[in-house]
Amino acid sequence: MAIMPSAGKEFEIVKSGRHKGRLVRIIDLGTQKGEYEGNITYKHKALLMWELPETEITEGEFEGKPFFVSLFATVSLHEASILGPLLVGWRGKEFTDKEKAEFNLLELLGKTFDINVIHKESDGKIKARVHQLSPLEEEDCPARVNDLVAFDLSEFNQEVFDSLSDKIKDIIMKSPEYKIRNDENKGDIAVAEKQLEEESPF
């Protein structure tokens, strides 16, 4: 555990180093607008959250619960992506072209990982970041504490969506995938859903 200063306020983050973790949430954020080197980009994003069952929050409303570490990543296995090299390290081998074509991010839900966490400054705050993933056998990871949560825009589940934080819901609602599903002027929703299903990497 570490107490790090941020704009006059202290908040608790998990210590840096290696942790046993289980991927307990995978949230499809849809296509998100961004900027890279002055150029506007549109990329399919997802939120991955690992529970660290050997750690424990020591203060606040979640006292006694395990820490989480999160990763906002482009859904891509390209070697220049963030997610691709992380998963190669976890698997211990490269993805074949066939594996890349058939890759389903949601199949990782509930899998166990050895996670190297680093502390990095972002927007004036020190945050815990996933730096490296390595293999970890299921039997070597403590029992899961939190429920597994998966949200896939191509198979929209209103109950799961409603359970997400307002911040995450706001991000999802900015995506064209969400807008297609919720704009009656777009036409037949079934046609839109079929199109999204064909295009989704989930």
Q: Please report the pLDDT score of residue 68 as a whole number.
A: 95
pLDDT tops 70 at residue 11:
no
- Mean pLDDT value across residues 137-161: 95
Given a cut of 80, whether residue 6 has pLDDT beyond it is no
Sketch the domain layout of the chain as residue ranges: 2-199
Cα distances from 44 to residues 5, 22, 56, in angstroms, run 33, 23, 32
Q: In sequence order, what are the residues at sequence separation of 6 or more whose Cβ sits closer than 8 angstroms to the Cβ of residue 192?
A: 180, 181, 186
pLDDT in tens, 171-185: 999 999 998 887 654
pLDDT at 182: 72
User: Which pLDDT tens digit goes with each residue over 21-57?
Assistant: 999 999 999 999 888 788 888 999 999 999 999 999 9
> Which pLDDT band, with edges at 50, 70 and 90, does 12 fall under?
confident
Residues near 106 by beta carbon (within 8 Å), at least 6 away in sequence: 26, 150, 152, 202
The reported pTM is 0.83
With the C-alpha atoms ordered 131, 132, 137, 140, is the resulting torsion angle positive or negative?
Answer: negative
Rounded mean pLDDT of the chain?
A: 87
